[in-house]
Chain A
Amino acid sequence: MRPLTRLYAFKMYRQKLIYIFFACFFTASFFYAFLISTPQMEEMLNIDIGMVGRENFPEFMMRFYVGTVGILFQVFLLTLFICEEDRNKMLCQPLLHGESRSRMMQAKICVAVSMAVLFVLLTALINYTTAFMRWGDAVFEPAALRRTAAKYLLSGVYMSVVTLGITALCVCTRSTWKTICFAVIYLLLDSLICDSSIPFLQKIWVGYYTNLYLFTYEYQQIPLRAAGWGISVMALYGLLFYRTSLCRTQNMAF
């Protein structure tokens, strides 16, 4: 790992927000695991415990992170990591120590994307832990485990692309509030497009595939074709966001 990447990783993992967020997520996951199996809650939440409990619980809980909550969490973290550092004149500091702009941005992106993937894995760990505490070995049913692992990995890819998108937004707007506003607009557009009946638009929309994996193929194996298309579209978006961030960084005046 390059020294600048190490420096940013060190800085990122000192953010208290991360620990508070995952403590809350663990609490929510724990309570869900223990509450949804009571008849009263089943009725109240209108859910089928036979469906969402046991080996399906980690997949059921995944949607609480991969989507609005996870994206907004990433937005807050990345605006602190990029926009606020820019505002406090800290973003340009490595440039005063012989680092190039592209190396600086690559280091930021490397830390941000690793963090996005790590957080998805962390949610998997939390959900499996709480599910194991509630249902024991039953949560590790091999077929469901393979299926859920694939979904977590695809969600990791999606969250990485979203992270690249937020990074590009931060670099282009250089403003915390503008980035948050654009992220909210993205979330609104995402739900609009995913619920729409325009197949072409859906096929080129990055958020559509996660929606497909989490809801259309809920508790089912994802067909290879759908996974392949999704990964290709996400990779294209990721590349576009990555290039945008690097190009914009070259032209930034500090």
Chain B
Amino acid sequence: MKTIISVQNLRKTYKKETAVENVCFALTPGSIMGLLGTNGAGKTTTLKMITNLCAKDSGKIVIDHVSLDENPGLALSKVGAALDTPSFYPELTAKENIACFARLYQNISARQVMELLAYVGLAEQAEKKVKKFSLGMKQRLALARAMLGEPKLIILDEPANGLDPQGQIALYRMVSDMAGEKNTTFIVSSHQLHDMEKFCTDILILDKGKSILQGKTEDILSETTDIVDLVPEEMEAAAQILSKCPGISLVSRKGNQFTIRLEEICLDEFIRKLVTSRLHIRYLAMRKNSLQDLFLKLTGGFESCAH
């Protein structure tokens, strides 16, 4: 199958600290990969290595069959990126800023610049100076700039930062539409796990520079265990019963609610055990494991939640 980007054994160390180690992935056209991880997990370093903004120690990056090491100019001509906090020439208008970078491409007309601005919802602000823009508006403008030249791969580093909830949904819809309509591939790093679960076709979770989970989103979520939220009459009695119950693991205990993961036991069996233990239950509900549950489990976040 055709791959638009292939990353093999990517590694980067800063002095003695390993920032990224043996990260590998490959993406097909039209896919959206969510790059997840805690702060300092190596997401931005990975994205900077892909865009050649920072040198890698080892590994291989091939973009649309062009090696980044051998021909960085050609490889990166197929990539659009919005990394870090969006930055522009503040004293220029949105239109001038995009037009500035449009000059680096051939055949991008003023009309196409306006179309891009309209696509990201900034048509009315086109003549406004960027220094007067909010962070959310700058994020949209950064997306428009990344879309210049219709790249095959767009890399977005935490694009939802500073966007209101409507803006976040609009942004991810835009990404989703572009992937579907134009077959553009996206790598999106974000902490918005709920949105990532909905919009990403692929997931890669990094922890301390290492890849700890990757694959198709639906495969990852279908393989996960069930989660039960339980509100008992008596917390201490319930805690004792649950500690003796095999095949489950306690995820968190918040207020009067336990969150339990069913590891090697089905729901019927679990309820039967609770009933035979004569535990009085006020509320019990089962839900599928979300990406957030999985992320917290893998990155050790549940321990901090449980405490």
Contact of B104 among A3, A11, A14, A251 (CB under 8 A): A3
B18 within 8 A of A: no
Return the CB mask of A75-100 against B: 1 if under 8 Å, else 0. 00000000000001110111111111
Let me know if A98 and B55 touch, CB within 8 A.
no
A192 within 8 A of B: no
B128 within 8 A of A: no
B48 within 8 A of A: yes
With contacts A90-B89, A97-B148, A98-B76 taken as known, whether A4 is within 8 angstroms of B104 at the C-beta atoms is: yes
A200 within 8 A of B: no
A residues 101-125 touching B (CB-CB < 8 Å): 103
With contacts A96-B76, A97-B149 taken as known, whether A254 is within 8 angstroms of B54 at the C-beta atoms is: yes
Let me know if A98 and B89 touch, CB within 8 A.
no
A89: B residues at CB distance < 8 A: 83-85, 87
B72 within 8 A of A: yes
Task: Give the interface size bracket for A toward B.
Answer: 20 to 34
Let me know if A14 and B91 touch, CB within 8 A.
yes
Let me know if A98 and B104 touch, CB within 8 A.
yes
A10 within 8 A of B: yes
B31 within 8 A of A: no
Interface of B is mostly: loop
Q: Who on chain B is nearest to A11 by CB?
A: B89
Let me know if B103 and A3 touch, CB within 8 A.
yes
Return the CB mask of A159-201 against B: 1 if under 8 Å, else 0. 0000000000000000000000000000000000000000000
Task: Give the interface size bracket for B toward A.
Answer: 20 to 34
- Give min CB distance, B190 to chain A, whole Å: 19
Let me know if A98 and B54 touch, CB within 8 A.
no
With contacts A89-B87, A253-B55, A254-B48 taken as known, whether A95 is within 8 angstroms of B76 at the C-beta atoms is: yes
- Give min CB distance, A21 to chain B, whole Å: 18
A146 within 8 A of B: no
B89: A residues at CB distance < 8 A: 11, 90
Let me know if B100 and A96 touch, CB within 8 A.
no
A6 within 8 A of B: yes
A7 within 8 A of B: yes
Q: Who on chain B is nearest to A100 by CB?
A: B73
Contact of B87 among A4, A88, A100 (CB under 8 A): A88
Let me know if A92 and B53 touch, CB within 8 A.
yes
B119 within 8 A of A: no
B146: A residues at CB distance < 8 A: 96
Let me know if A98 and B77 touch, CB within 8 A.
yes
Let me know if B53 and A253 touch, CB within 8 A.
yes
Q: Who on chain B is nearest to A251 by CB?
A: B55
Return the CB mask of B64-86 against A: 1 if under 8 Å, else 0. 00000000111011011101110
Q: In the assembly, what is the distance between CA of A97 and CA of B51, in Å?
A: 10
Q: In the assembly, what is the distance between CA of A3 and CA of B108, in Å?
A: 12
Let me know if A93 and B72 touch, CB within 8 A.
no
Let me know if B148 and A90 touch, CB within 8 A.
no
B38 within 8 A of A: no
B88 within 8 A of A: yes
B54: A residues at CB distance < 8 A: 253-254
The CB with the most chain B CB atoms within 10 A, among A90, A92, A94, is that of: A92
B292 within 8 A of A: no
Let me know if B52 and A95 touch, CB within 8 A.
yes
B74: A residues at CB distance < 8 A: 98
Return the CB mask of B105-123 against A: 1 if under 8 Å, else 0. 1000000000000000000
Q: Which residues of B contact A (CB under 8 A)?
A: 48, 51-55, 72-74, 76-77, 79-81, 83-85, 87-89, 91-92, 100-101, 103-105, 145-146, 148-149
Q: Given contacts A94-B101, A99-B73, list 10 more A-B pairs with CB under 8 A.
A: A7-B104, A89-B84, A89-B85, A90-B89, A95-B51, A96-B51, A96-B80, A103-B73, A253-B55, A254-B48
Q: List 25 A-B contacts (CB under 8 A).
A: A3-B103, A3-B104, A6-B103, A7-B101, A11-B89, A14-B91, A90-B87, A92-B53, A93-B87, A93-B101, A95-B52, A96-B51, A96-B79, A96-B81, A97-B77, A97-B105, A98-B73, A98-B74, A98-B76, A98-B77, A98-B149, A100-B72, A100-B73, A251-B55, A253-B48
